[in-house]
Structure 1
Amino acid sequence: MKFYLLLLLIGLAAEVTLSAKLLARSSRELTFRENRRYKRLVKRQLQ
């Protein structure tokens, strides 16, 4: 029983870290896109 609970906890921790990594990656991509759009706007205004 204890072994099963331990496995469950390990699986849960792995799932949480995986989803956190995915979230971080998607948010990083979003900020990258926003930065690109912002730079484009700045270039347009400088011209």
Structure 2
Amino acid sequence: MVALCSFCGSGPSFANLAPYVGLIANGIVLLNDGSLMVAYYSCGTRL
């Protein structure tokens, strides 16, 4: 068996620092504190 603790860092990992938990739907992200983040894409046209 290999001791895996020697390969682990002592600081927080990226998953602990990132506020994202997962995708709820297309463009909606659930954050760690229970809030939702929504992203919109808008493309204007000239008339």
Fold agreement, TM-score > 0.5:
no
**Structure with the bigger percentage of strand:** 2
- The structure whose Rg is larger is 1
Q: What is the TM-score with the length of structure 2 in the denominator? A: 0.23
Q: Which has the higher contact order (CA 8 A, sep 6+)?
A: 2
Structure with greater proportional helix content: 1
